[in-house]
Amino acid sequence: MIERSPLFNAISYAMMVIGFLIVVTPFWVVLVAASQSLSEIARVPMSLWPSAHLWENIEAAWNRADLGPKLLNSLIVALGVTFGKITIAALSAFSIVFFNYRARMVCFWMIFVTLMLPLEVRIVPTYSIAANALSPFQTLLDTLGLTGLISALTGVEVSLNWNLLNSYTGLILPLVATATGTFLYRQFFMTVPDELVEASKMDGSGPMRFFFDVLIPLSRTNMLALATIMFVSSWNQYLWPLLVTTDRENYGTVVMQLKALIPAQNGTPDWNVTMAGALIIMLPPLVIVALAQRWFVRGLISRDK
Amino acid sequence: MAAITLKSVKKNYGKTPVIHGVNVEIEAGEFIVILGPSGCGKSTLLRMIAGLEEVTAGEIHIGDRLVNQVEPRDRGCAMVFQNYALYPHMTVAQNIGYSLKVAGVPRAQRDERVRAVAKSVGLEDYLDRRPGQLSGGQRQRVAMARAMVREPKVFLFDEPFSNLDAKLRVAMRAEVRRLHRDLGVTSVFVTHDQTEAMTLADRLIIMNAGRVEQIGKPSEVYNRPASRFVADFIGSPAMNLIEGMFDEQGHFVYGRGGRLAAEPLNGQRRPGRKLVLGVRPEAVRRTNEQKPGAIPALVEYIEELGAARLIHADASGTRIVAVETENVDIPSGAPVHLEFNDDALHVFSAEDGRRIDAHA
């Protein structure tokens, strides 16, 4: 509904301004706090105007939380998860949309149902699998009695073990499954005309050739949109990295390091350094969103011709 | 040696049969048009030849090879689709050359062939454009070039011109005809447009509800329709079909007691058997005086076509259309007499619609 009247316009603008303020005020407070000195930030009420100490605070935060290597870790994990999610989403949607097999809808609904099982709900079993990724197979062998059989026959005790704790694999792999991505890709693939599929069949390309030569280039905007969401959400992961890494020194991510930046109970209340750290940590996703937002919007609301 | 042979080809979708056993032999180099109303199975038949649909029963041979289980790419067919089916993210050159790329043809050779083919359909200036920047006619040319570049044994066209405007359609028709003459490749062309079919075809296959009604040259199909369906479907304005039966005196009795002296009786045209008499509007002449063989009718209205006009008349409850080439003005309700060319009368069985010949 499009309605144009001065009153209506005024209301619309007011709503937008309120929304803008709600979104931007916290950022502003972080930025202001990050630029103040310890004495300035301790003052009550706090000044809402930036001061001149931004760089020294950033430097302090950078050193205190060891942000250099941690940023690299975060980047590796976020990129790994994003890449993995897109690959899996595209391939699973490809299978669901373009192939005709009996269990197709069952598979689709199984994937869809996982939307209702976020990581937080299944964190204990996920952790136990991360601790030994082969444990399901071990259990299978044990319950079938094969372990006993093999050890009786060959004298070898079967004990499968693949530990994912404290590794990039462990940080990335459990996060790569994505129902949202599969669904998004499915919706896009369903808009691809059948004739295109048939034309490529006549041109002699097999399914994977079609996937790489036609579907992937056509879904570029979707892919960017998905990548943006996925990058931001995996950058913001807190619970899983916290669980799966005990070796924080080497495998910690920046979001976990936020905690290290919070002043200790009886320590100096240098919130200015904490805020400077927060500023650094939220910068990469901000940059990604800023760069990708044009495609992001296009990829989610429509497709280009 | 036939280029394509279909032997009792059948197709079911689930339990519903859509093609009920088609037998056709297509000669090498022939231009075959499959014509029929929408939903008659003509596209399905074409797609079965292409390998895009599975054959439920029967055999399809291309050359001397049984291709029922052969992948589309290995059948040596190229297809032009109704909605062009160009890859939107590729340039014209990439679109045309894609099949060669898939086949692993080296780049230099590929470019050369793409250029040659593009030239033959007048696209050499558009090679770097994307399909989105082309008009409908140009897109269809790209689709044709893409089919030609593979140097196939068979061209398949699936209603390729139905998205083009009337003028462009005529131009593309001529183009297809020219390409067929130059290349001499066996072609199968599906359409529901009878003008397109009549002008393009060496032979027509007329289909109705999953069955072949008639196979023949356009003139044969027009002059000797094998069934009531073909008679009604081919020709515009449509053939007059008059239901009735012969009486003992050899008159055809129709409508509310109308009588017409007609061709001699024979076994098939025995008195009392329900028949359908067909006569094309072009073979109906208007005469002013009553004479034997002419039937009286009342003019309902005149349809002006410019070069000619159609007289819609009511003859004892049966609508008859006649083509009038003379520029006359006849008021509605005026009585006229209509005379039929004797050799232009077609007789069909009222039960199964098949043609009944006088000398059969």
Q: Which pLDDT value is given to residue A304?
A: 45
Tokens of A200: 């490529």
- Residue B115 clears pLDDT 80, i.e. is over it: yes
* Contact call for residues A51 and A36 (beta carbons, < 8 A): yes
Q: Give A70-95 as a DSSP string.
A: HHHHHHHHHHHHHHHHHHHHHHHHHH
Question: Are B207 and B258 in the same domain?
Answer: no
Q: Which of residues 63-92 of B touch A (CB under 8 A)?
A: 71-73, 77-79, 81-89
Angle (nearest 5°) at CA B207 between B203 and B210: 140
Q: What percent of chain A has pLDDT over 70?
A: 97
Q: Which CATH number is B342's domain given?
A: 2.40.50.140
Residue B358 lies in a domain: no
Query: Mind listing the pLDDT tens digit for each residue in B22-80?
Result: 999 999 999 999 999 988 989 999 999 999 999 999 999 998 899 999 988 889 899 99
Residue B355 lies in a domain: no
Domain that holds residue B293: 237-349
Question: Are B161 and B255 in the same domain?
Answer: no
Q: What is the mean pLDDT of chain B?
A: 88
Q: Give B56-122 as a DSSP string.
A: SEEEEEETTEE-TTS-GGGTTEEEE-TT----TTS-HHHHHHHHHHHTT--HHHHHHHHHHHHHHTT
Determine which of B102, B148, B155, B162 to mutate to test the interface with A (most A C-beta atoms within 10 Å). B102
**Residue in A204, A214, A217 closest to B73 by CB:** A204
A65 pLDDT band, cuts 50/70/90, is confident
Kindly give, in sequence order, each residue whose CB lies less than 8 Å from that of residue A211, ignoring residues fewer than 6 positions away.
A90, A94
- Residue A299 clears pLDDT 70, i.e. is over it: no
* Contact call for residues B227 and B195 (beta carbons, < 8 A): no
Structural domain total, chain B? 2
Query: Mind listing the pLDDT tens digit for each residue in B169-200?
Result: 898 899 899 989 988 999 999 999 988 999 99
* Contact call for residues A70 and A254 (beta carbons, < 8 A): yes
Whether complex ipTM tops 0.85: no
Question: Are B196 and B183 in the same domain?
Answer: yes
Q: How far apart are the first and last CA of chain A?
A: 26
Q: How many Å apart are CA B316 and CA B259, to the nearest integer? A: 9
* Contact call for residues B172 and B143 (beta carbons, < 8 A): no
Look up tokens 């692993």; give the residue. B104
Question: Are B247 and B214 in the same domain?
Answer: no
Residues of A in contact with B79 (CB under 8 A): 198-199, 202
Residue B359 lies in a domain: no
- Residue A301 clears pLDDT 70, i.e. is over it: no
Q: How many Å apart are CA B356 and CA B267, to the nearest integer? A: 10
B338: left (phi over 0), alpha (psi -120 to 50) or beta: beta
Question: Are B41 and B94 in the same domain?
Answer: yes
**Residue B136 at interface with chain A, using a CB cutoff of 8 Å:** no
Nearest to A221 by CA among A111, A25, A86, A65: A86
Q: Which of B232, B263, B288 is the last residue of a domain?
A: B232
- Residue B238 clears pLDDT 50, i.e. is over it: yes
Q: Which of B210, B232, B254 is the last residue of a domain?
A: B232
Q: Which CATH number is B14's domain given?
A: 3.40.50.300
What's the predicted TM-score (pTM) here?
Answer: 0.80
Cβ contact, residue pair B81, A198, below 8 Å: yes
Q: Which pLDDT value is given to residue B222?
A: 92
**Residue A217 at interface with chain B, using a CB cutoff of 8 Å:** yes
Question: Are B155 and B12 in the same domain?
Answer: yes
The enclosing H or E element of B31 equals strand B31-35
Nearest to B212 by CA among B75, B20, B79: B20
Residue B356 lies in a domain: no
Look up tokens 């003992």; give the residue. B248
Nearest to A117 by CA among A164, A178, A69: A178
User: In this structure, what DSSP letter does residue B360 have?
Assistant: -
A197 pLDDT band, cuts 50/70/90, is very high
**Residue A218 at interface with chain B, using a CB cutoff of 8 Å:** yes
Question: Are B156 and B243 in the same domain?
Answer: no
Cβ contact, residue pair B79, A202, below 8 Å: yes
Q: Which pLDDT value is given to residue B215?
A: 94
Q: Which of B232, B256, B272 is the last residue of a domain?
A: B232
Query: Mind listing the pLDDT tens digit for each residue in A145-195?
Result: 777 777 777 777 777 778 888 888 888 888 888 888 898 899 899 989 999
**Residue A116 at interface with chain B, using a CB cutoff of 8 Å:** no
Lowest mean pLDDT among A178-182, A253-257, A293-297, B133-137: A293-297
- Residue A286 clears pLDDT 60, i.e. is over it: yes
Lowest mean pLDDT among B59-73, B139-153, B270-284: B270-284
Question: Are B251 and B163 in the same domain?
Answer: no
Q: How many Å apart are CA B157 and CA B344, to the nearest integer? A: 34
Exposed, middle or buried: residue A180 (CB in 10 Å: 0-12, 13-18, 19+)? middle
Q: How many Å apart are CA A95 and CA B189, to the nearest integer? A: 33
Cβ contact, residue pair B89, A217, below 8 Å: yes
Cβ contact, residue pair B85, A205, below 8 Å: no
- Residue A69 clears pLDDT 90, i.e. is over it: no
Q: How far is CA B128 from CA B45, B218, B261, in A?
A: 35, 41, 68
Over residues A57-69, the mean pLDDT reads: 82
Residue B360 lies in a domain: no
Q: Which pLDDT value is given to residue B221?
A: 93
Residue B357 lies in a domain: no
CB-defined contacts A:B, below 8 A = 59
Residue B111 lies in a domain: yes
B49: left (phi over 0), alpha (psi -120 to 50) or beta: alpha
Tokens of A59: 């430097």
Name the minimum distance, in Å, from the CA of A178 to any CA of chain B: 27
**Residue A214 at interface with chain B, using a CB cutoff of 8 Å:** yes
Nearest to B180 by CA among B200, B204, B166: B200
Helices A54-64 and A271-301 meet at what angle, rounded to 10?
Answer: 90
B250: left (phi over 0), alpha (psi -120 to 50) or beta: left
Kindly give, in sequence order, each residue whose CB lies less than 8 Å from that of residue B319, ignoring residues fewer than 6 positions away.
B240, B300, B312, B313
Residues of A in contact with B89 (CB under 8 A): 214, 217-218
* Contact call for residues A64 and A84 (beta carbons, < 8 A): no
Cβ contact, residue pair B78, A202, below 8 Å: yes
**Residue B146 at interface with chain A, using a CB cutoff of 8 Å:** yes
Q: How far is CA B258 from CA A296, B31, B265, B266, B272, in A?
A: 75, 44, 18, 21, 15
Cβ contact, residue pair B79, A195, below 8 Å: no
Query: Mind listing the pLDDT tens digit for each residue in A74-121?
Result: 899 999 999 999 999 999 999 999 998 888 889 889 888 888 888 888
Over residues A16-30, the mean pLDDT reads: 92
Question: Are B261 and B334 in the same domain?
Answer: yes
Question: Are B136 and B283 in the same domain?
Answer: no
Name the minimum distance, in Å, from the CA of B73 to any CA of chain A: 4
Exposed, middle or buried: residue B28 (CB in 10 Å: 0-12, 13-18, 19+)? middle
**B214 in helix, strand or coil?**
strand
Nearest to A280 by CA among A61, A37, A33: A61
Residue B52 lies in a domain: yes
Q: Give A164-204 as a DSSP string.
A: -TTSHHHHHGGG---HHHHHHHHHHHHTS-HHHHHHHHHTT
Determine which of B83, B139, B156 to mutate to test the interface with A (most A C-beta atoms within 10 Å). B83
Q: Which pLDDT value is given to residue A213?
A: 92
Alpha helices by DSSP H, listed for chain B, are 42-50, 92-102, 107-120, 136-148, 166-183, 194-200, 218-223, 228-233
**B6 in helix, strand or coil?**
strand
**Residue in A193, A205, A305 closest to B83 by CB:** A193
Q: Which pLDDT value is given to residue A138?
A: 81
Cβ contact, residue pair B85, A193, below 8 Å: yes
Query: Mind listing the pLDDT tens digit for each residue in A219-277?
Result: 888 888 888 888 998 998 888 888 888 887 788 888 888 888 888 777 777 888 888 88
Over residues B234-240, the mean pLDDT reads: 89
Q: What are phi and psi of B302, to 5 degrees?
A: -115, 135
* Contact call for residues B55 and B21 (beta carbons, < 8 A): no
- Residue B275 clears pLDDT 80, i.e. is over it: yes
The pairs formed by B261-265 with CB atoms below 8 angstroms and a separation of 24 or more are B261/B292, B261/B293, B262/B342, B262/B345, B263/B342, B263/B345, B263/B347, B263/B358, B264/B358
Question: Are B91 and B218 in the same domain?
Answer: yes
Question: Are B49 and B189 in the same domain?
Answer: yes
For A116-143, b/e burial (b = at least 16 CB within 10 A) is eeeeeeeeeebbebbebbebeeeeebee
